[in-house]
């Protein structure tokens, strides 16, 4: 039996396709630079996690990019909205025989490999583990059996996602991790000196 699978959902790093809300303030090229930086950071963190890993591309699978095919399984996201795309990725993982499947995005500055390892550990004694994001969504979701309903009937990208997800899990044992802030708008950058000094104050 395969044990742990880490899913990473990414957007292909292309101009005008990533961080569109951030781009309104910092410009499209800077928004792309910041997203590419966060993508590399996510790749570095994920590489250190003791689990199998699969990267799911938003548009097209890239063969020669930062995601080493010797380390990361490569897949295409499939589905009409984010929920169904995540559901299909989780289904793939459980169908392949993994006991615990966990998903992260690629736009969180302060996520660590230790956070992810701990989330897998929490699934020994909980049905679901959730990393709550400050904006009302979540930055991490893990489960040890497929909970289909959390992926359906959500207004993705809104502040109600986490509340509605927890509502779906009322009869399950859920472990909430520490709050973290994913990067969507300019204000999200202000507490991150590395990004401010590298990408903003140099302009």
The answer to whether 129 touches 122, Cβ cutoff 8 Å, is yes
Q: Give residue 203's pLDDT.
A: 57
Q: Provide block-wise average pLDDT over 10 residues at a time, the chain (203 residues).
A: 91 92 95 96 97 96 94 97 97 97 95 98 98 95 98 93 97 97 92 94 71
Between the alpha carbon of residue 140 and those of residues 47, 63, 168, the distances in Å are 16, 26, 16
81: domain range? 2-200
Prediction pTM value: 0.96
Residue 14 maps to which CATH number? 3.90.550.10
Which residues make Cβ contacts (< 8 Å) with residue 185, sequence separation at least 6? Answer: 21, 22, 25
Check residue 149 and report its DSSP letter.
G
Reading the block at residue 182, the tokens are 């994913």
- Number of domains composing the chain: 1
Distance set, CA 64 to CA 15, 45, 60, 92, 98 (Å): 19, 19, 12, 23, 27
């Amino acid at each position: 039996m395969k044990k742990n699978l880490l899913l990473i959902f990414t957007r292909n790093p292309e101009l005008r396709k990533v961080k569109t809300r951030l781009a309104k303030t910092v410009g499209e090229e800077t928004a792309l630079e910041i997203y590419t930086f966060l993508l590399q950071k996510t790749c570095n963190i994920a590489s250190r996690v003791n689990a199998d890993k699969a990267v799911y591309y938003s548009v097209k699978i890239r063969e020669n990019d930062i995601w080493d095919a010797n380390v990361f399984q490569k897949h295409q996201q499939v589905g009409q909205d984010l929920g169904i795309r995540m559901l299909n990725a989780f289904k793939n993982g459980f169908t392949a025989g993994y006991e615990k499947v966990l998903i992260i995005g690629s736009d969180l500055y302060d996520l660590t490999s230790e956070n992810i390892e701990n989330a897998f550990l929490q699934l020994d004694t909980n049905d679901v583990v959730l990393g709550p994001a400050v904006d009302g969504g979540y930055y991490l979701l893990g489960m040890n059996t497929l909970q289909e309903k959390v992926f359906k009937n959500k207004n993705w990208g809104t502040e109600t996602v986490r509340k509605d997800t927890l509502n779906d899990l009322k009869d399950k044992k859920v472990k909430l991790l520490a709050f973290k802030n994913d990067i969507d708008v300019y204000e999200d950058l202000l507490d991150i000196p590395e990004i401010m000094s590298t990408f903003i104050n140099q302009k």
